[in-house]
Copies of this chain bind each other. A is one copy, B any other.
């Protein structure tokens, strides 16, 4: 009975926190995660990778994806024989396995011809009572006759650990610094997960380029901005701008040749029509694509769907170039100094367990706003941990980058940015962040990462964070007074708890300590009670209950 109760609490907790989007099956593969490295190793590895420019890294990822296939594997099989079968078609550059409604493999070949060869040997499924939509993609199923010939396959985790497991891991760390990097290591996207995401992007590109050969599909947002958490949505940007750029359409003699094309009232209608047809293709043909929704009347029209074999929720938009530029800016900050990502991941987790942020749109602070607040805080340190956006712009030299009249110029080469003179440790920064915003004059001041200093609020929004590119907009326009108050109270409370933790490190064995302690419920949860009425409490409260249960279970054994 107790076991069942714990499962229920865990399940609610997972759902509540939206910390995992993939199924229990995927969660069960945690043991096989070969990516588990110590926080120090991860940090060193990060820094080695990060010096690549955003564009170069994306190009490399696209190339890998274009050479890859996604294979649904038989329930039991022998990895060596599997690889031997694939090698018949060409040299394999890279491969890995994961679980999502069964075992899957991402296999990257060295040459594109190998995929052609594999596809040529691939048949359309047929049976007496099965009918299929014969759309041939790079999603294959490998079937095996000999079920007995079985070896265990190492499957890589593609989702974040549940919050309770995370807390247990945090409690085993040496200090708060190690806790923060452990959290980063558990939550951040793995190389393999990013490969999987680019492969899905490449499969959607195949759909789009069938009609628009010059179109590209690029992941943006959390998949590429270095702040993505395992299980986060895959945002895709369909870029049609290259169409028509290839031809000069010069008049030869007295004639000019133009394509006969459908005329529509606006660019928005073009986007809506193209997304509409692509969504029909994905819905009717796309193997493994389910829950396709057209949300074409939104400010930014989009198509939402689940890519089941990849275990990803995808949002396909078009005409969203500033978002792509934002992704690169975050990538620059995230890879400039490894404390940035560590701090952002820790604070996002903290905000999520306390219901400060939410997966549901509403008056909550968004992850993006919270990230802006972290960046601003880091710019305000003395000496600053990171440069201001204006400083990044001045480092760009003569290259201007203007999108719809908005100046989105900043340096792309990380090596051109002078290293930070600030060497504060992550526990100090974490504590001071909470204190900084616990005492911030939100009534008077707005946050401006372009200048790296407070600005007078141009309007009466409770929280004002200037959009770094569309400078007249407020990133946190959606946040109301009560949500801001909850944030402030929780920041104060958590600052106090964390300070206490740093002073009394001897009591660690007995309870959740350090970073884990600030994930526990606090007095602040009483705020706005009248409005929220019978809400079922925050994740933090459930975590406390869960930890208590676990203690009791241990005692009972």
Given contacts A132-B270, A254-B81, contact A261 B145 (CB under 8 A): no
Question: Of the 9-residue stretches A28-36, A40-48, A90-98, A239-247, which lies at the interface with chain B?
Answer: A239-247
Cβ-based interface call for A298 (8 A): no
A3 contacts the other chain (CB 8 A): no
**By the criterion CB–CB under 8 Å, are B255 and A81 in contact?**
yes
Which B residues are CB-close (under 8 A) to A259?
122-125, 132, 134, 136-137, 139-141, 287
- Closest chain B residue to A249 by CB distance? B123
Chain B residues, CB < 8 A from A144? 254-256
Q: Is A142 part of the binding interface, using a Cβ–Cβ cutoff of 8 Å?
A: yes
The CA of A248 and the CA of B125, in the complex, are separated in Å by 11
B261 adjacent to A134 (CB under 8 Å): yes
Q: Known A144-B254, A247-B121, A277-B280; judge A134-B260 contact (CB<8 A).
A: no
Q: Is A401 an interface residue (CB 8 A)?
A: no
Give the residues in chain B near A556, CB-CB below 8 Å: none
A265 within 8 Å of B (CB atoms): yes
- Please encode chain A, from 243 to 274, with 1 for each CB lying within 8 Å of some chain B CB and 0 for all others: 11011111111111111111111110110011
Cross-chain contact of A257 among B135, B141, B256, B281 (Cβ < 8 A): B141
Nearest CB of B to A523, in Å: 52
Interface flag for A88 (CB, 8 Å): yes
Question: A118 an interface residue at 8 Å Cβ cutoff?
Answer: yes
Indicate if A419 sits at the interface (CB-CB under 8 A).
no
What's the nearest-Cβ distance from chain B to residue A489, in Å?
A: 50
Chain B residue, CB-CB nearest to A120: B247
A60 within 8 A of B: no
Question: Does A371 touch B at the CB level, under 8 Å?
Answer: no
**Which chain B residues lie closer than 8 Å to A276 at the CB level?**
280, 284
Q: Which of A82, A134, A136, A145 has the most CB of B within 10 A?
A: A134
Instruction: Please report the C-alpha to C-alpha distance between residue A287 and residue B72 in the assembled complex, in whole angstroms.
Output: 39
Q: B281 touching A211 by the CB < 8 A rule?
A: yes
Pick the residue among B130, B131, B136, B261 that contacts A132 (CB under 8 A): B261
A306-337 contact mask (Cβ, 8 Å, vs B): 1 or 0: 00010000000000000000000000000000
B141 touches A240 (CB 8 A): no
Whether the Cβ atoms of A270 and B133 lie closer than 8 Å is yes
Q: In this complex, what residue of B is CB-closest to A268? A: B131
Q: How far is the CB of A303 from chain B (nearest CB, A)?
A: 13
User: How far, in angstroms, from A81 to B123 measured CA to CA in the complex?
Assistant: 51
Given A88-B252, A141-B258, CB of A269 within 8 Å of CB of B123: no
Instruction: Say yes or no: A256 contacts B81, CB within 8 Å.
Output: no
When the two chains form the complex, which single residue of B125, B262, B263 contacts A285, counting CB atoms closer than 8 Å? Answer: B262
Interface check A231, CB cutoff 8 A:
no
Residues of B contacting A285 in the complex (Cβ-Cβ under 8 angstroms) = 211, 262, 273-274, 277
Q: A123-B256, A146-B254, A255-B143 are in contact. Are A133 and B247 (CB under 8 A)?
A: no
Q: Which chain A residues (129-172) contact chain B, with CB distance < 8 Å?
A: 130-137, 139-146, 149
With known contacts A141-B257, A274-B284, A264–B132 Cβ distance under 8 A: yes
Question: Contact string, A99-143, partner B, CB cutoff 8 A, digits 1/0?
Answer: 000000000000000000011111111100011111111011111
Annotate A494-534 by CB proximity to B: 1 below 8 A, 0 otherwise.
Answer: 00000000000000000000000000000000000000000
| Cα separation A241 to B191 with both chains bound (whole Å) | 41
Measured CB to CB, the nearest residue on chain B to A251 is: B145
Interchain CA distance A133-B252 in the complex, whole Å: 25
Contact of A123 among B134, B139, B247 (CB under 8 A): B247
Nearest neighbor of A136 in chain B, beta-carbon distance:
B259
Q: A288 interface residue, CB < 8 Å from B?
A: yes
Residues of B near A360 (CB, < 8 A) are none
Contacts of A440 in B (CB 8 A): none
Q: Which one of A119, A250, A262, A309 has the greatest number of beta carbons of chain B within 10 Å?
A: A262
Q: Which residue of B lies closest to A126 (CB)?
A: B244
Q: Which residues of B contact A124 (CB under 8 A)?
A: 243-244, 247, 249, 258-259, 261
Residue A301 is within 8 A (CB to CB) of chain B in the complex: no
Q: For the complex, give the distance between the alpha carbons of A124 and B261 in Å.
A: 8
- Interface pair B260/A309, CB less than 8 Å apart: yes
Closest-by-CB residue of B relative to A290 is B262
CA distance A232 to B281 in the complex (A): 32
Q: Which residues of B contact A253 (CB under 8 A)?
A: 81, 84-85
In the complex, A124 Cα to B249 Cα: how many Å? 8
Given contacts A273-B284, A280-B276, contact A258 B133 (CB under 8 A): no
CA distance A72 to B261 in the complex (A): 12
Contact status B211-A122, CB under 8 Å: no
Task: Tell me whether B280 and A135 are in contact (CB under 8 A).
Answer: no
A/B interface sample: 30 pairs, CB < 8 A: A85-B252, A88-B252, A120-B247, A121-B248, A123-B249, A123-B257, A123-B259, A124-B243, A124-B244, A125-B258, A125-B259, A131-B264, A131-B269, A131-B270, A133-B264, A133-B274, A134-B243, A134-B261, A135-B212, A135-B262, A136-B259, A136-B261, A140-B258, A141-B257, A143-B257, A143-B258, A145-B251, A261-B287, A262-B286, A273-B284
